[in-house]
C-alpha cells in the first residue's frame, strides 16, 4: 500500500533495509539500542550510496571541466546570434555534440541523491511518530528502538524547529546548530576548492561559481533547521566524502590551465629531478643548481648569437 501512496515508497524500503542491515552489523559492537549504532548505520548508508555514485562523480568532474573549456566558444555563439534565440540554441547543441559536453552531467550526483535524501527523511519521520511507524525491514520493534536511541542525549529524529518536543530541548538545539554549521561549511569549502584550485583565471564561469559558493550554504543552513538530526548527519557525511573525493580528483586530474594543473606539473618536475639526482649520485639541490646553471649558460649563448653582427663578404667590403 505504501508503494502505491508514495512514489518513493520503494526507495524508502531500500533505505530502511540498509539502515537495518548496518544496525545488525554494528549492534554487537555498540549495542542494539545505542544511538551510536544508529548514527553509524546512517554513515554506512552514505558510504554505500557514494561508492555507487563514483562513476557519476567522475562524469560530473569531466562535465564541469568541459563546460569550463567551451565557455569561450559559448560566449562567441551568444554574441554572434544575440538576436536569434533559435539559431543560438541550435549552435549550442551542435557545440555540445562536437565537444561531448552535457550540461546536466554536472548536476547528476546531486539530483540522484535528492530522492535518497527525502527517503531517509521519510523513514526518520516514521521513527519520530508516537508510536513509531515501521518501514519495510524496519519493523515496529526496531523503529521503537531507533525512536528511543539518542546521541549526546538527542534522538536521531529530532529537529531544531521541534526541539521543544524532545527529551532534551537544549541539547537538541546545540547539536542541530553544530551539524547545520558543519554541513554549510563543508558545502562552502567543497565549492571553494573547485573554484580556486580547478578553474583557470580567465574562465567566465567563475562569477557563477562564486554565487553558488555562497548561495548553496545559505540554502542548506536555512533548510537545516527543519532537518532531522539523522538527515543532517547523512548530508554532512556526504559533504565530507565529496570534499575528499574532489581533492583526490583535482590533485591527480586537474583542469588544464588551472592552479591545480600547475601544481601537478611542478610535482612531476620535482619527482623527475629527484630521480635524475639519484642517478647522478648528487643531492636534489645540487642537481637543480647544476641544471639551472646549464640553462642560464645556454640562454646566454643564444642571446650572444642573436646579437653578434654578421660578417660582410669581401665584395661588400670593396
Rounded Cα distance, 128 and 150, in Å: 12
3-state SS assignment for residue 154: strand
Rounded Cα distance, 7 and 259, in Å: 45
CA distances from 17 to 11, 25, 194 (A): 10, 12, 35
Rounded Cα distance, 50 and 129, in Å: 29
Cβ atoms within 10 Å of 23's Cβ, excluding its own: 24
Cβ atoms within 10 Å of 128's Cβ, excluding its own: 22
| pLDDT per position as a tens digit, 76-86 | 887 887 777 78
3-state SS assignment for residue 34: coil
Note the helical H segments in the chain.
2-5, 9-30, 35-52, 54-69, 71-80, 85-99, 108-128, 140-148, 169-197, 206-223, 229-252, 259-280, 284-307, 314-317
Task: Write out the chain's pLDDT in tens, 318 residues.
Answer: 444 445 667 888 999 999 999 999 999 999 988 999 999 999 999 899 888 888 877 777 777 677 767 777 877 887 887 777 788 788 878 877 777 666 666 566 667 777 887 888 888 888 888 788 888 899 999 999 998 889 999 998 899 998 998 889 999 999 999 999 999 999 888 888 877 776 655 555 566 667 777 788 888 888 889 889 988 998 899 899 988 888 888 888 777 777 777 888 888 888 888 888 888 887 878 778 888 787 777 777 777 776 665 555 555 555
Q: Which residue is it, cell 559559448?
A: 74
Q: Determine contact, residues 17/10, Cβ cutoff 8 Å.
A: no
Rounded Cα distance, 304 and 71, in Å: 43
Rounded Cα distance, 72 and 75, in Å: 5
Phi/psi for 281 (5° steps) reads 75, 30
Rounded Cα distance, 109 and 46, in Å: 13
Say what the pTM is: 0.74
Amino acid at each position: 500500500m505504501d508503494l502505491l501512496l508514495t512514489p518513493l515508497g520503494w526507495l524508502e524500503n531500500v533505505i530502511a533495509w540498509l539502515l537495518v542491515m548496518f544496525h545488525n552489523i554494528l549492534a554487537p559492537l555498540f549495542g542494539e539500542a545505542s544511538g551510536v549504532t544508529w548514527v553509524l548505520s546512517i554513515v554506512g548508508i552514505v558510504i554505500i550510496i557514494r561508492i555507487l555514485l563514483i562513476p557519476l562523480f567522475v562524469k560530473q568532474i569531466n562535465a564541469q571541466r568541459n563546460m569550463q573549456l567551451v565557455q569561450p566558444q559559448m560566449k562567441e555563439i551568444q554574441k554572434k546570434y544575440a538576436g536569434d534565440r533559435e539559431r543560438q540554441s541550435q549552435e549550442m547543441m551542435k557545440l555540445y555534440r562536437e565537444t561531448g559536453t552535457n550540461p546536466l552531467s554536472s548536476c547528476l550526483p546531486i539530483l540522484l541523491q535528492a530522492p535518497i535524501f527525502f527517503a531517509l527523511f521519510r523513514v526518520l519521520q516514521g521513527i519520530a511518530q508516537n508510536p513509531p511507524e515501521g518501514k519495510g525491514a524496519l519493523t515496529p520493534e526496531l523503529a521503537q528502538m531507533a525512536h528511543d536511541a539518542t546521541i549526546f542525549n538527542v534522538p536521531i529524529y529530532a529537529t531544531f524547529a521541534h526541539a521543544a518536543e524532545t527529551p532534551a530541548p537544549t541539547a537538541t538545539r546545540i547539536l542541530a546548530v553544530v551539524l547545520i554549521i558543519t554541513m554549510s561549511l563543508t558545502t562552502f569549502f567543497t565549492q571553494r576548492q573547485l573554484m580556486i584550485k580547478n578553474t583557470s583565471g580567465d574562465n567566465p564561469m567563475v562569477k557563477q561559481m562564486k554565487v553558488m559558493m555562497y548561495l548553496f550554504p545559505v540554502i542548506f543552513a536555512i533548510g537545516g533547521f527543519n532537518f532531522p538530526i539523522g538527515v543532517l548527519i547523512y548530508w554532512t557525511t556526504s559533504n565530507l566524502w565529496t570534499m575528499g573525493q574532489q581533492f583526490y580528483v583535482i590533485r591527480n586530474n586537474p583542469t588544464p590551465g588551472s592552479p591545480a594543473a600547475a601544481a601537478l606539473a611542478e610535482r612531476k618536475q620535482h619527482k623527475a629531478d629527484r630521480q635524475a639526482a639519484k642517478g647522478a649520485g648528487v643531492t636534489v639541490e645540487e642537481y637543480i643548481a647544476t641544471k639551472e646553471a646549464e640553462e642560464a649558460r645556454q640562454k646566454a649563448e643564444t642571446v650572444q648569437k642573436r646579437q653578434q653582427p654578421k660578417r660582410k663578404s669581401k665584395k661588400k667590403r670593396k
